[in-house]
Structure 1
């Protein structure tokens, strides 16, 4: 069993471990942390690394709020902005057009909870990679020595040290190779063949 925190179009390192795991368990009882992959991802545009961040609702009284209770702030047109950013960055990539219609509903559906959005991004990616999308959810926060714990991968500052294999990126001739971007970068460049990258 491998425990993960659902994140927004997770980094490649995240999916590298998901693909190798037989039983995926999503952590539902963790506390929300700012500046984590729970509500952000990084893509590659003509200026280099670009952050896509989902606004979330905060209350002054929220000292410790569980991620599962974190609500998306839909008063801003963040979905339009993110989708346009993907279109601008990847419209000439080999596989963006192939996946564009399938990914579009994620940017038109109005989500109340961040977790629901993140699980939908997971389902989109597992479908695109043609791998099992089965998972279970935790009912309490536990540290279990018998499980492989990958929850730390949701932390932007605690990414694995291992080198990520190179693949051709949209603007690598201009800015060089940028490792561990969102899985979308690999998917739009390699398509279904991205699975062989792992």
Structure 2
């Protein structure tokens, strides 16, 4: 596999989401098999949806066994060093945010490479960044973060829009990757720190 910055970021995003999934599973006191499954689906869920939607099958992790080895190794390390990263809420948020930022740009870039409309490419980036976390939360019996008041998918959409704009001005791709991923990560960090959220809606007489 060519070690371009794009591929390196894709591997880093896979690692970050694998750790995020493993931490979420350990927080739910799942057994060893459960930890591996949650780590796996969290790290490959978004990329799998992306590849299926654009017709790129077999999907990436099926064609490149290195992803399986990488996810397995990272999950084992997360289990071994769980005592060092057992500030679960903080660690889970951090690795989830890193994965979100990186996978957003890989999704948008994939859309652009396949000559999709910019709006579709941005949507593809948001799906790639969020879908693994959605599966993780559902399997861990939680309402997915994307459906809560917390700004999550919105950060992906803003990052995706930044990617498309920068790409239109023919800026160096590696620079676009870095700027876009940092944009998504920074938005997530700021909105959580200052408790910024989208409005929620509820039916009359429904407890808030």
Q: TM-score, normalised by structure 2?
A: 0.24
- Name which structure has the greater RCO, CA cutoff 8 Å, separation 6+: 1
